[in-house]
Structure 1
C-alpha cells in the first residue's frame, strides 16, 4: 500500500494503485523514436546556429534556445526507458525522480513561450516595422529570453513538489523497489497542478498565438499589394512549429481539463483512467522535442531546393533578409519625409531672406 501523507490526510497517487503499468510497448517506442531523432537533430540545429550562421537574427537566437531546451529534456529519456523496462520501478532515487519530471515541465513551458515570443516578434515586424527595427536588438532580446526561462522554472515547480517515491501496491508488476509517482495530499492540490498546466501551458499561450497569427494574416493581406513581397520562409516555419506543438500538447492539456472535471465531480474511476492515459501522452509529448529539427529540414528542402547541410543556414539567413526589406522600406519612407521637411524649411528660410532684402531696398 502507498504511504500516507503527513498530517493524516489521505493522499491521491497517480492511479489509485501505485505501480500499475502503462502500455509499455507504445511508450517505449515513442521515447526511443524521440531520443534517436530529436537528440541529434537538436544538436545539429545548435551547431548550425552557433557555427554556420553569418549573422544571428532574433529568430535564430530563439530557435537556438528552443533546440537547447529540447536537447536537454531528451537526455532524461533513458531514465524513463529504464523505468518502463523495470515495469514502473524507479532505481535512481527520489531526487532524480523529482528533477526529471521538473525538467520535463520546464521544457513544456519554455517551448510554448518561445513559440509565443517568435509569433509576437513576427507580428511586431509586420504591423509596426519601425518599432520592430528599434526593438529587435540583443539588448531587448536577452531580457525576454531570460523572462521565459525564469517563468518556466517557476511554473514547473509543482511537477517536482508532487512527485515522490512510494512502495508499489500488492499485485503490481513492479519487481520490488519504489515507484516514482504523483502524490497529491488532497484533491485541491491536484486541481491546482492540473488547472495551472492547462491554463498556463495551453489556454493562455495559444490564445495569444491565435490572436497574433490572425493579426499577421490580416496585415499581410493589406500590405501584400502595397509592397509586392511574398510571405517569408520563417512565417511558414513558425506556423509548422506551432502546428506540431499543438498536435502534441493539446491532448495532454485537454486531459488536464478532463481530470479537473472528474475531480470536481468526484468520479474516481475517470480520474484513474485519466492518469493511465497521461503516462502515454507524456511519452508522446517527448516527440515535440524531436519535431522541430525535422521541420527545419523539411522547410529548408521544400523552400530552398534539395536538402543539404546548409539548408538551415539558408533558411535563417533568408529570414534576416526578409526582415531587413520592410525595415529598409520603412527607413526610406522616413528619410523621404525628413528630406521633404528639410526642403520645406530651406524654402521658408529663402523666402524670409527675400522678404528682408526687399524691405531693405524699399527703405
Structure 2
C-alpha cells in the first residue's frame, strides 16, 4: 500500500445496509458490537420474511399486476438484496474479523449502494406515474402498458447499477496480522467529498425534489377537483415516501457534515469530521431498517383484509391500486372536461356580446350597419 495514501477510519457510506461497525474498528467494548448484532438481527428477522411475503404475494397470489404492484415488487427485491448481506456483517461484528475477502467486501457494499439508488428511483417513478395520471390522464392511459413499464424498470436498475459503481473503489480490506477489516478507503480528501456529495445529490436531493413536486401537484389538483374518494393506496405510497425520508435524511445530513469537514480547515474541520465520525454508525443503523419497514407499512394497510382474505390480505391491498389509479385518472379527466366546457361557454358568451355590440353600435354617419346595405 502506498504510504502517501490516507485511509478513512470512520466506517462510512454503506448505503442502505452497513452495520454500525465503527466501534469494532476503534476497539470499543463488546456491548457496542452486541448492539450492532441486535440491530442487524432484528432488521433481518423483520425484513427478510416480510419482503419474501411481498414478493410471493405479487408473483403467485395476484393474477393482474398494476404498475404500482410491479414497482413494489422490485422495491422488495432491492430490500431483500441488502438483507441478504446482513449475516456477513453479523459475523464480522461477532468475530471482529472480516474473513470473506476483499471481493466480497466490495460486493456487499456495492449491493447496498445499488439498493439505495434502486429504491429511491422506484419510489420516484411511483410518484411520476401518479403525477402523469393526474396531469395527463389520456397520455397516462396510453403509456401504462406492460412493455413501457418493464422497460422503465429495467432502465431504473441499469441506472442504479451505474450510479453505484464508485462504491467498490472506496472499500478495501486492511489486515493487522490475523485481523482483517472491511473499511472505507480514500486516497485523498477530494475523494471523500466526491463520494458523499455524489451519493447525496443523486441518491436523495434530485429524486426527492421530484417526489415532493409531484405530490404537491397531485394534492392541489385533486383538491381543486373536490375528489373526496378514500385513497388507501395513495396513502400507502405517501407512507413509503415519508418512511424513506425519515430513515435517509439523517444519513445524508452526516454526508454533508463530512463533506463540509473535508472542505473546511482548522478547528472547524476537526469538529465537523468528528461529528460525522460519531454520528455515522447511528444513521447507518437507521438506513438498514429502511429495508425492513415497507412490509410493516403494507401489513398495516391491509390489516382490514386479514380476517376475510387470510394470507391473501396483501393481494387485496395491491389489487386496489388498479381501481384507485383509474379513479384518479377519471377525476382528472372530469376536471379537464369541466374546464373545457367552461371555456366553451365563456367563448359563446363573448361571441353573443360581440354580436350585440356590432348590431347596436352606429356607423360614422349615424346609421346602423344594416341600413347602409339596404341603401345600396
Is the structural similarity TM-score above 0.5? yes
Query: CA-to-partner distance for each residue in 1:229-250, whole Å, 9 max, x for gaps?
Result: 5142211111110111111111
For 1:98 and 1:310, the matched residues in 2 are separated by 39
Contact 1:167–1:178, Cα closer than 8 Å, also in 2: yes
Of 57, 60, 75, the match for 2:66:
57
Greater CA deviation, 90-99 or 175-184?
A: 175-184
Alpha-carbon distance in 1 for matches of 2:238, 2:27 = 36
Find 1:76's aligned residue among 82, 85, 89.
85
Moved more, 44-53 or 300-309: 300-309
Question: Given the superposition, is the C-alpha separation of residues 322 and 77 from structure 1 closer, same or farther in structure 2, using an over 3 Å criterion?
Answer: same
Q: What are the ranges of 5 or more consecutive residues in structure 2 without an aligned counterpart?
A: 12-21, 341-376
Which is higher, the Rg of structure 1 or of structure 2? 2
Alignment match, 2:285: 283
Cα deviations by residue, 1:328-351 (Å, 9 ceiling, x for unpaired): 6749x99xx9xxxxxxxxxxxxxx
1:281 is displaced (CA, Å) by 2.2
Shift of 1:306: 7.4
* 1:269-292 per-position Cα deviation (integer Å, ceiling 9, x unaligned): 542442343233223211111111
Q: Deviations over 1:14-58 (max 9, x none)?
A: 239993147323322221111000000001000100111121010
1:100-140 CA-partner distances (Å, limit 9, x unpaired): 01100000111111000001111111222111111111121
Distance 1:151 1:320, change over 3 A: same
| Residue 134 (structure 1) aligns with | 142
Contact 2:48 / 2:292 at 8 angstroms: preserved in 1? yes
- Counterpart-to-counterpart distance in 2, 1:29 and 1:197: 27
2:158 match: 150
Shift of 1:77: 0.2
* Structure 1 equivalent of residue 209 of structure 2: 207
Instruction: Tell me, in whole angstroms, the C-alpha distance in 2 between the residues paired with 1:301 and 1:178.
Output: 46
Unpaired runs of 5+ in structure 1? 169-174, 338-363
Structure 1 Cα separation of the partners of residues 286 and 328 of structure 2: 40
Pair 1:34 & 2:33 matched: no
Q: Is the aligned partner of 1:163 residue 2:162?
A: no
How far apart in 2 are the matches of 1:303 and 1:261? Answer: 49
Q: Any conservation in 2 of the 1:300–1:307 contact (CA below 8 Å)? A: no
Q: 2:192 aligns with which of 178, 190, 193?
A: 190
- In structure 1, the residue matched to 2:373 is none
| 1:118 corresponds to | 126
Residues 15, 272 of structure 1: 8 Å contact kept: no
Question: Counterparts of 2:304 and 2:187 in 1: how far apart (Å)?
Answer: 52
Q: Deviations over 1:117-165 (max 9, x none)?
A: 0011111112221111111111211221112111111111121111001
> Could you state the TM-score of these two structures normalised by the residue count of structure 2?
0.79
Distance 1:21 1:141, change over 3 A: farther
Q: Is the 8 A contact 2:196 2:255 kept in 1?
A: yes
Q: Is the 8 A contact 2:34 2:94 kept in 1?
A: no
Query: Paired residues, what number?
Result: 319
Q: Which residue of 2 aligns with 1:255?
A: 254
Q: What SS is found at the alignment partner of 2:183?
A: strand
Which SS does the other structure have where 1:293 is aligned?
Answer: helix
Q: Which residue of structure 1 lines up, in the alignment, with residue 25 of structure 2?
A: 19
Secondary structure of residue in 2 paired with 1:167: strand
Distance 1:272 1:254 in 2: 14
SS in 1 for 2:292: helix
Q: Residue 304 of structure 1: CA displacement? A: 8.1
- The yes-or-no answer on 1:100 pairing with 2:102 is no
Q: TM-score, normalised by structure 1?
A: 0.81
Looking at structure 2, the residues matched to 76 and 153 of structure 1 have their Cα atoms a distance apart, in angstroms, of 17
90, 105, 111: which is aligned to 2:98?
90
